[in-house]
Protein backbone atom coordinates (compact mmCIF):
# COMPACT_ATOMS: atom_id res chain seq x y z
CA UNK A 1 0.00 0.00 0.00
CA UNK A 2 1.35 3.39 -0.98
CA UNK A 3 1.87 5.86 1.84
CA UNK A 4 -0.20 9.03 1.87
CA UNK A 5 1.30 11.64 -0.39
CA UNK A 6 1.52 15.22 0.82
CA UNK A 7 1.10 18.20 -1.48
CA UNK A 8 3.68 20.98 -1.30
CA UNK A 9 3.27 24.20 -3.28
CA UNK A 10 6.59 25.60 -4.44
CA UNK A 11 7.12 29.04 -5.93
CA UNK A 12 10.89 29.12 -5.59
CA UNK A 13 14.03 27.00 -5.53
CA UNK A 14 12.28 23.67 -4.84
CA UNK A 15 11.13 23.86 -8.47
CA UNK A 16 14.78 23.48 -9.57
CA UNK A 17 15.75 19.98 -10.68
CA UNK A 18 19.18 20.30 -9.04
CA UNK A 19 17.62 21.14 -5.65
CA UNK A 20 15.14 18.26 -5.94
CA UNK A 21 17.86 15.75 -6.79
CA UNK A 22 20.12 16.92 -3.95
CA UNK A 23 17.30 16.95 -1.38
CA UNK A 24 15.17 13.97 -2.37
CA UNK A 25 17.36 11.97 -4.75
CA UNK A 26 14.64 12.13 -7.37
CA UNK A 27 12.70 14.57 -9.53
CA UNK A 28 9.30 15.41 -8.07
CA UNK A 29 6.01 15.07 -9.90
CA UNK A 30 4.11 18.32 -9.99
CA UNK A 31 1.46 20.41 -11.68
CA UNK A 32 1.13 24.16 -12.17
CA UNK A 33 -1.09 25.87 -9.64
CA UNK A 34 -1.76 29.25 -8.03
CA UNK A 35 -1.68 30.41 -4.41
CA UNK A 36 -4.19 33.22 -3.90
CA UNK A 37 -4.19 35.76 -1.07
CA UNK A 38 -0.39 35.91 -0.91
CA UNK A 39 2.27 38.03 -2.58
CA UNK A 40 5.87 37.11 -3.24
CA UNK A 41 8.54 39.06 -1.39
CA UNK A 42 12.30 38.49 -1.38
CA UNK A 43 14.64 37.61 1.46
CA UNK A 44 18.39 37.18 1.58
CA UNK A 45 19.55 33.67 2.44
CA UNK A 46 22.61 33.37 4.69
CA UNK A 47 22.53 29.60 5.30
CA UNK A 48 25.55 28.12 3.48
CA UNK A 49 23.94 24.71 2.97
CA UNK A 50 20.86 26.24 1.35
CA UNK A 51 23.00 28.57 -0.76
CA UNK A 52 25.08 25.68 -2.06
CA UNK A 53 21.95 23.79 -3.15
CA UNK A 54 19.89 26.67 -4.53
CA UNK A 55 22.81 28.70 -5.95
CA UNK A 56 20.67 31.79 -5.22
CA UNK A 57 21.39 34.44 -2.63
CA UNK A 58 17.85 35.82 -2.71
CA UNK A 59 14.82 33.56 -2.31
CA UNK A 60 11.15 34.32 -2.72
CA UNK A 61 8.93 34.21 0.34
CA UNK A 62 5.12 34.15 0.37
CA UNK A 63 3.53 36.89 2.47
CA UNK A 64 -0.14 36.52 3.41
CA UNK A 65 -2.27 39.48 2.28
CA UNK A 66 -5.80 37.94 2.35
CA UNK A 67 -6.38 39.85 -0.90
CA UNK A 68 -7.45 37.40 -3.62
CA UNK A 69 -6.10 39.80 -6.26
CA UNK A 70 -2.65 38.86 -4.94
CA UNK A 71 -1.47 35.52 -6.25
CA UNK A 72 1.72 33.52 -6.66
CA UNK A 73 2.21 31.13 -9.56
CA UNK A 74 4.08 27.93 -8.86
CA UNK A 75 4.05 24.16 -8.87
CA UNK A 76 2.29 21.79 -6.49
CA UNK A 77 4.45 18.71 -5.90
CA UNK A 78 3.63 15.30 -4.46
CA UNK A 79 5.95 14.28 -1.61
CA UNK A 80 6.07 11.46 0.88
CA UNK A 81 5.84 12.49 4.57
CA UNK A 82 9.59 11.71 4.84
CA UNK A 83 10.38 14.01 1.92
CA UNK A 84 8.25 16.74 3.48
CA UNK A 85 10.40 16.46 6.63
CA UNK A 86 13.48 16.79 4.41
CA UNK A 87 12.02 19.91 2.83
CA UNK A 88 11.40 21.32 6.33
CA UNK A 89 15.09 20.97 7.13
CA UNK A 90 16.03 22.75 3.87
CA UNK A 91 13.89 25.83 4.51
CA UNK A 92 15.44 28.53 6.69
CA UNK A 93 13.95 29.93 9.91
CA UNK A 94 12.27 32.83 8.07
CA UNK A 95 9.73 30.34 6.72
CA UNK A 96 6.92 28.47 8.41
CA UNK A 97 4.99 25.60 6.77
CA UNK A 98 1.24 26.30 6.61
CA UNK A 99 -1.75 24.47 5.10
CA UNK A 100 -3.47 26.36 2.27
CA UNK A 101 -6.10 25.74 -0.37
CA UNK A 102 -4.79 26.34 -3.88
CA UNK A 103 -6.78 27.74 -6.80
CA UNK A 104 -7.23 24.17 -8.10
CA UNK A 105 -8.94 23.26 -4.82
CA UNK A 106 -6.03 21.10 -3.64
CA UNK A 107 -5.14 21.25 0.05
CA UNK A 108 -1.41 21.85 0.12
CA UNK A 109 1.46 22.88 2.35
CA UNK A 110 3.39 26.01 1.54
CA UNK A 111 6.41 27.69 3.13
CA UNK A 112 5.35 31.24 3.95
CA UNK A 113 6.66 34.17 5.96
CA UNK A 114 6.62 33.54 9.71
Contacts of 54 (CB under 8 A, 6+ apart): 13, 16, 19, 45
Strands in 1-114 per DSSP E: 6-10, 30-36, 38-44, 58-64, 71-79, 95-101, 107-113
- State the average pLDDT for the chain: 94
Where is pLDDT greater, at 3 or 76? 76
Reported confidence tier of residue 1, pLDDT bands at 50, 70, 90: very low
What is d(CA 78, CA 92) in angstroms, rounded to the nearest whole number? Answer: 21
Check residue 18 and report its DSSP letter. Answer: H
* pLDDT value, residue 59: 87
- Rounded to a whole number of angstroms, the distance between the first and last alpha carbons of the chain is 36
Which of 8-12, 90-94, 98-102 shows the lowest mean pLDDT across its residues? 90-94
Architecture category of domain 6-113 in CATH: Roll (3.10)
Amino acid sequence: MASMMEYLFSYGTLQKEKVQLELFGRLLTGTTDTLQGYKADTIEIKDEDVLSKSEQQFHLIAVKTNNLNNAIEGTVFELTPEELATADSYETEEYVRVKVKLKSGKESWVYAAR
